[in-house]
Amino acid sequence: MGMILKIALRNIGRHKRRTVLSAITIAAGLMAFICMDSLLTGVDRMSIDNLINLSAGALKVQTAAYEKEKDSFPLTFALDSALAPLAASLAKQKGVRHVTPRTQFLGQLSNYEETVPVVGTVIDPAADTLVFGLKPCLSGAYFGPDNIREIIIGKQLAQDLGVGVGDNITLYALTKYDSRNADVFKIAGLLSTADPGINHSGVFMTYAAANDFLDLENSVTELDVAIAKDNSLPHFSRTVQGIQKNLQRDFPSLRVNTFLDLGAGVMELTRAKRASGFIIMGIILIIAVVGIFNTVFMSVYERIREIGVLRAHGMRPRDISTMFVLEGVITGLLGSALGVATGSLLNMQLVTAGIPMEKIGGSIATASYGVAGTVYGQWNIPAMTVVFLLGISVATLAGIIPARRASKIQVTEALRFT
Amino acid sequence: MALLDIKNVTKEYRKGDKSVAALNGVDLAIEKGEFLSIVGPSGSGKSTLLNIVGCLDTPTSGSVLYNGRELGGLTERQLSDYRRDNIAFIFQSYNLIPVLTVQENVELPLVIERKYSKSDMARKAVAVIESVGLGTMADRLPRELSGGQEQRVAIARALVKDPLVVLADEPTANLDSATAEDVISIMQRMNTDRATTFVFSTHDLRMERHAKRIVTLRDGAIEKDERRQ
């Protein structure tokens, strides 16, 4: 085996340019996959974080009746009597950091020339900032606790209506008792988030304002829960699902949904992105297979006489085959190691510095992926290990066919070959 | 009993629709320690006969016996083992492995045999390299050698495993006169000292001159078989 390995290694060194080209083909494939996987994982994580930070929280608790009618955002199916025991139970759950109430309603916003349908969200300004991340996306002012004459709206919505911070605008909605109401509010701030729903149709007001405008009487239709941050999404998901299970057991009349349930669309998109990533990886690997196959085949063709000599000296066909397979394995090992090394270096940059979304597709990318700002890569060691082994396996398989062919060449023909 | 007994061997090749006879009923018995030259014009069947004796090729009919053992019907693996254990080859164009040094090329048959330790292989290789006068060139690659030096390495490679039979196909064809004489004298010395059987095909009259037995082939058949003292 030692001599076979020695011959294989030296032949690889003998055709440096060809070996380097083949190794680079594999390395480029692996590097591209590592970076792409890192960015996709980063985008996934970012869109999930955005989902949690802007609209879903880690957990959302509503009444079962509300969930059935949720598309109309009814004010009547409030948590009310369940609120206090629910808050007490949540306080005991391990991992729960903060809880905030929210109440959503449908309305219309008008500048007297144009009327736009909106989704209103009533918030507790102080508690909401502990669960949701609206404040960093805000231009203008946030609410004070007793603010009853101000609203915050989506930036795109403001642009559609031609209004800005400090302008007055009329909001129409049905009160809790189904009577139509309209009032003028001053725009305190504009929200530019990664959630197009908030940007295009989001209106936020305090419970103080909603008690006055919607006769809300502090009715809370959902309780949103923040769970301790965790870099591992699977671990975080398990924690959240554990709390969901406990709450659902203790409050069977309520409906407890996790961000995974609420973000089914985002999760579906994540799976689709993963699938496209693997298709691209497959194409890259096919290119690598052709490269390695060509390299080993050329090597066999150039060394037919050498094969004849080795066979004449009694080397068995299997050993001849092993020698050429080894060349494929070594080339694959070189390429895979190079790919993982360069991929890791590039990924380090993606993880630390990130890429501004604008540079990879602007508003289209922002809308498609539900993220905005800078996307940061994520380390995915299991995926890196898999592609490293895959690179070597593919190179080995690509070397097997020409190697088998080499072992079957007739000795006399090989010795006559010029 | 002859070391190698070739009995009524024919070899036919297909050339399109036609069948061409390269050997036509050859009978030849080769004793241990012979220094036998096969001569004849191009196309007379010299290389084909050597290939069949060396189990690199199989006869269309007839049989080849080695120490009384019939070689026909051996599997590919058994043929490899037969060559490995009994036969050594010297080729006209040396056919050294270009990525291996002189010593590694010489060690190659021992590596294939898998009988020796690393140190034993090195010791045997160095001894035989010195015996062909290349003691200072053990670490060189074939591309750093002259044609004559390469052929000496090929001889060393053939002799390192102490084979009973060395088959050489035109071993001096690519060498100048002085180098050819050197190579012939090395082969003669090995024949005398180790009783190694040499069977070589040649067009070279100098080689013929040193042969103890000359078999002349013509049109695939033995025309003359003469022994010398």
Asked if B127 has any chain A CB less than 8 Å from its own CB, the reply is no
Asked if A16 has any chain B CB less than 8 Å from its own CB, the reply is no
Asked if A10 has any chain B CB less than 8 Å from its own CB, the reply is yes
Q: A306 to chain B: nearest residue by CA?
A: B97
Average pLDDT over residues A161-165: 93
Average pLDDT, chain B: 89
Asked if A283 has any chain B CB less than 8 Å from its own CB, the reply is no
**How high is the pLDDT of residue A145?**
65
Q: Which DSSP category does A52 fall into?
A: I
Nearest-angstrom CA–CA distance, A104 and A64? 16
Q: Which residues of A touch B80 (CB under 8 A)?
A: 311, 314-317
**Above 90 in pLDDT, residue B179?**
no
pLDDT digits 0-9 by tens, A168-184: 999 999 999 989 999 99
Both tokens of B73, joined, read 């019907």
List strand residue ranges (DSSP E) for A148-219, in order.
150-154, 168-174, 180-191, 202-206
**How high is the pLDDT of residue A372?**
59
**Above 90 in pLDDT, residue A151?**
yes
A411/B57 Cβ within 8 A: yes
Average pLDDT over residues B110-127: 91
Ranges A38-52, A107-121, B14-28, B63-77: which has the least confidence: A38-52
- How many CB atoms neighbour CB B65 within 10 A? 17
The most confident of the ranges A22-26, A110-114, A121-125 is: A121-125
Asked if B76 has any chain A CB less than 8 Å from its own CB, the reply is yes
Nearest-angstrom CA–CA distance, A240 and A61? 12
**How high is the pLDDT of residue A368?**
52
**How high is the pLDDT of residue A136?**
85
**How high is the pLDDT of residue A305?**
84
% of chain A beyond a pLDDT of 70: 94
Residue linked to tokens 């050819």: B180
Q: Which residues contact B141 (CB under 8 A, 6 or more apart)?
A: B98, B99, B100, B101, B102
Average pLDDT over residues B27-44: 92
Shortest distance between the Cα of A284 and any Cα of chain B, in A, equals: 32
pLDDT digits 0-9 by tens, A260-298: 887 777 777 777 777 777 787 778 778 777 777 777 778
Between A294 and B189, the more confident residue is: B189
Nearest-angstrom CA–CA distance, B146 and B136? 14
Nearest-angstrom CA–CA distance, A319 and B14? 30
Nearest-angstrom CA–CA distance, A207 and A198? 19
Q: Which residues of A touch B84 (CB under 8 A)?
A: 313-315
**How high is the pLDDT of residue A409?**
81
**How high is the pLDDT of residue B124?**
92
Between A280 and B48, the more confident residue is: B48
Q: Which residues of A touch B57 (CB under 8 A)?
A: 411-412
Phi and psi at A254, nearest 5°, equal -100, 160
Shortest distance between the Cα of B2 and any Cα of chain A, in A, equals: 23
Ranges A137-151, A196-210, B156-170: which has the least confidence: A137-151
**How high is the pLDDT of residue A370?**
54
**How high is the pLDDT of residue A296?**
74
Phi and psi at A176, nearest 5°, equal -60, -25
Given a contact cutoff of 8 angstroms between Cβ atoms, the answer to whether A122 and A105 are in contact is yes
Strands laid side by side in the B4-15 sheet: B18-30, B4-15, B61-66, B69-70
**How high is the pLDDT of residue B24?**
92
Asked if B84 has any chain A CB less than 8 Å from its own CB, the reply is yes
pLDDT digits 0-9 by tens, A77-93: 888 888 889 889 988 88
Q: Which helix (H) or strand (E) holds B192?
A: helix B177-194
**Above 60 in pLDDT, residue B10?**
yes
Shortest distance between the Cα of A317 and any Cα of chain B, in A, equals: 8
**How high is the pLDDT of residue B175?**
77
Nearest-angstrom CA–CA distance, B171 and B62? 27
Q: Which residues of A touch B54 (CB under 8 A)?
A: 312
SS3 content of chain A, % helix, strand, coil (to 5): 60, 20, 20
Average pLDDT, chain A: 85
Shortest distance between the Cα of A341 and any Cα of chain B, in A, equals: 29
Given a contact cutoff of 8 angstroms between Cβ atoms, the answer to whether B83 and B167 are in contact is no
Find how far residue A52's CA is from the centre of its chain: 13
**Above 70 in pLDDT, residue B149?**
yes
Q: Which residues of B touch A314 (CB under 8 A)?
A: 80-85, 109, 112-113
Nearest CB partner across the interface for B100, out of A7, A411, A415: A7
Examine the predicted complex and report whether its ipTM is higher than 0.90: no
Q: A307 to chain B: nearest residue by CA?
A: B97
**How high is the pLDDT of residue A367?**
52
Shortest distance between the Cα of A13 and any Cα of chain B, in A, equals: 9
A314/B83 Cβ within 8 A: yes
Shortest distance between the Cα of B206 and any Cα of chain A, in A, equals: 25
List strand residue ranges (DSSP E) for chain B, in order.
4-15, 18-30, 35-39, 61-66, 69-70, 87-90, 165-169, 197-201, 213-218, 221-227
A317/B57 Cβ within 8 A: no
**Above 80 in pLDDT, residue A158?**
yes
Per DSSP bridges, beta strands A355-356 and B18-30 are unpaired
**How high is the pLDDT of residue A1?**
64
Confidence band (pLDDT; 50, 70, 90) for A360? Answer: low
The most confident of the ranges A119-123, A408-412, B70-74 is: A119-123
**How high is the pLDDT of residue A365?**
52
**How high is the pLDDT of residue A175?**
93
Rounded to 5°, angle at Cα B78 from B76 and B80:
70
Nearest to A153 by CA among A111, A187, A195, A197: A187
Confidence band (pLDDT; 50, 70, 90) for B34? Answer: very high
Asked if B100 has any chain A CB less than 8 Å from its own CB, the reply is yes
Asked if A412 has any chain B CB less than 8 Å from its own CB, the reply is yes
Phi and psi at B133, nearest 5°, equal 80, 25
Given a contact cutoff of 8 angstroms between Cβ atoms, the answer to whether B98 and B154 are in contact is no
Average pLDDT over residues B92-98: 86
Asked if B98 has any chain A CB less than 8 Å from its own CB, the reply is yes
pLDDT digits 0-9 by tens, A376-387: 888 888 888 988
**How high is the pLDDT of residue A117?**
95
Both tokens of A86, joined, read 């629910």
Ranges A220-224, B67-71, B170-174, B192-196: which has the least confidence: B170-174
Nearest to A208 by CA among A169, A150, A138: A150
**Above 80 in pLDDT, residue A122?**
yes
Per DSSP bridges, beta strands A115-123 and A180-191 are unpaired
**How high is the pLDDT of residue A203?**
96
Confidence band (pLDDT; 50, 70, 90) for A143? Answer: confident
3-class DSSP string for A336-390: HHHHHHHHHHHHHHHHHCCEEHHHHCHHHHHHHHCCCCEECCCCCHHHHHHHHHH
